[in-house]
């Protein structure tokens, strides 16, 4: 997994999910997933929020105290990686079981 520095302080559930996802990505795509961010401070989130016009990806409001990045329940990865790992996850799972972990990544 690339971006291992972003694994620090993640919840155990998310860490387990990412390790499983990385193993599947290596098996099916012969490459590693790339994380680009993990736990963030209020100041880091506020910077992203203030500059969201220059960012094509969704950004959570820093005033939301339940923001998953504050609590180790979210990571960022590139959109291409996200699409690829969704396809890898589909290899072994039903449609219903696919949606739950991916939807939870952002909550």
Q: Write the pLDDT tens digit of every residue in 10-46.
A: 999 889 988 988 888 888 888 888 898 999 999 999 9
Among residues 12, 32, 16, which one has the least CA distance to residue 85? Answer: 32
How far, in Å, CA of 18 to CA of 22, rounded?
6
pLDDT at 95 over 60: no
Higher pLDDT residue, 60 or 87?
60
Residue range 52-77: mean pLDDT, rounded: 90
Q: Which of the two residues, 78 and 93, has the higher pLDDT score?
A: 78
Distance (Å, rounded) from C-alpha 69 to C-alpha 80?
21
What's the rounded Cα separation, in Å, for the pair 64 and 70? 9
CA distance 31 to 9: 24
């Amino acid at each position: 997994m690339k971006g291992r520095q972003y694994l620090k302080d993640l919840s155990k559930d998310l860490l387990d999910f990412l390790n499983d996802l990385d193993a599947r990505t290596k098996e099916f795509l012969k490459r590693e997933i790339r994380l680009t961010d993990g736990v963030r401070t209020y100041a880091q989130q506020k910077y992203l929020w203030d500059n969201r016009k220059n960012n094509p990806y969704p950004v959570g409001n820093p005033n939301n105290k339940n923001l998953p990045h504050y609590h180790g329940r979210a990571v960022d990865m590139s959109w291409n990686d996200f699409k690829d790992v969704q396809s890898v996850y589909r290899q072994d799972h039903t449609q219903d079981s696919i949606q739950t972990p991916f939807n939870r990544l952002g909550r």
